[in-house]
Amino acid sequence: MEDVISEEECEMLIHIQRSYSVGGYIPCLSITSLLELWDKAEIVPVLKIREKVRDLTEEHFGMQFNLNVEYTALACWYPGSSISAHADNNRDYLRQRDYTAILYLNDGGGINFKGGDFFFNDSEGHVRSSFSPRRGLLNIFSSGEENIHYINRIESGRRYTLTMWFSKDPNFSEDRKYIFPCFQNQNTPPSSKDSKTSYPTKDAPQEESHSEEKKEFDLMATKREDLGLNKVTISTHKDKRYYIEGTHFSFDTEEQLFNYMSFNQWKNLNPLTSFLP
């Protein structure tokens, strides 16, 4: 799929990757996952693009159910990096991966980097197809042995991707495993001043909280307020249910609320008009 996101969105994701990257699982690779972003304002546009990629993946495979995002990684491949032929679920701890989506953020073919081409092999180990990455191109395929693939050595430049793996099993949802526990354990909302990336702010009076139970979920509201996006306020009533104020939605548990917010509410946010410094 061509031109899935704009050039500006690609540059935004590259900037986020550079700002928060950590060491990768192979030499000459750095990764930025949602674990690095969960308490940063930058997670908002990443989640929006993540949901778009998930929707396109479900549509591509004719899914009648929601795929669960198993892992999301913004990656930078430096000169010298490569990866040998493999399937994406070729380890016991990766068997839950059913589908893969790779969104390319810059151009190969010697434009932004040289090398780093993508190859699919057939069952006999011969190359059946290959291509050079192009900015905005989305590569979607099932994660099993039917799609053995590899990346040849990057000779120069830096290769940037947003890679996502999907599972049919909700127990392997990245939100449940990583993001939701972070919200549960966080008591103090982060300030936009903690962000490494410049982003638009909106001067607006802050509502005074009269509930001691508006703790971890004020974090999500704070992110939206900092970004000038729609504010969502979560409150609890005497019946101990969780409410999204200004709507008819209520939930029995924190997990039900979080699943709604992560799988639906992010899709409804207004796009950023300017995110890069």
Q: Yes or no: say if 181 and 216 are a contact pair by the CB < 8 Å rule.
A: no
Q: CB count, 10 Å around CB of 211?
A: 12
Residue 186 tokens read as: 């966080």
Tens of pLDDT, residue by residue over 83-120, are: 999 999 999 999 999 999 999 999 999 999 999 999 99
Q: What pLDDT is stored for residue 268 in this prediction?
A: 42
For the chain, give every domain's residue range: 7-173, 177-268
Q: What pLDDT is stored for residue 63 in this prediction?
A: 82
Q: Pairing relation of β-strands 29-33 and 22-23?
A: antiparallel
Q: In 38-150, where does DSSP find H-type helix?
A: 43-60
Q: What pLDDT is stored for residue 88 in this prediction?
A: 96
Mean of all residue pLDDT scores within the chain: 76
Q: Which of 57, 58, 22 is nearest to 37 (CA)?
A: 22
Instruction: For the chain, report the end-to-end CA distance as a whole number of angstroms.
Output: 29
Q: What pLDDT is stored for residue 250 in this prediction?
A: 62
Write the DSSP symbol of residue 149: E
Q: What pLDDT is stored for residue 36 in this prediction?
A: 87
Q: What pLDDT is stored for residue 256 in this prediction?
A: 57
Q: Which of 82, 91, 75 is nearest to 115 (CA)?
A: 82
Architecture of the domain made up of 7-173: Sandwich (2.60)
Q: What pLDDT is stored for residue 198 in this prediction?
A: 34
Q: What pLDDT is stored for residue 176 in this prediction?
A: 78
Place of tokens 């042995």: 145
Tally of residues, the chain: 277
CA 155 to each of CA 14, 121, 134, 170, 176: distance values in angstroms, whole numbers, following the listed order:
19, 22, 17, 39, 38
Give the separation between CA 215 and CA 81, rounded to whole angstroms.
43
Q: Which residues contact 61 (CB under 8 A, 6 or more apart)?
A: 99, 140, 142
The segments of the chain whose pLDDT lies below 50 read: 183-184, 186-232, 262-277
Q: What is the pTM of this model?
A: 0.67
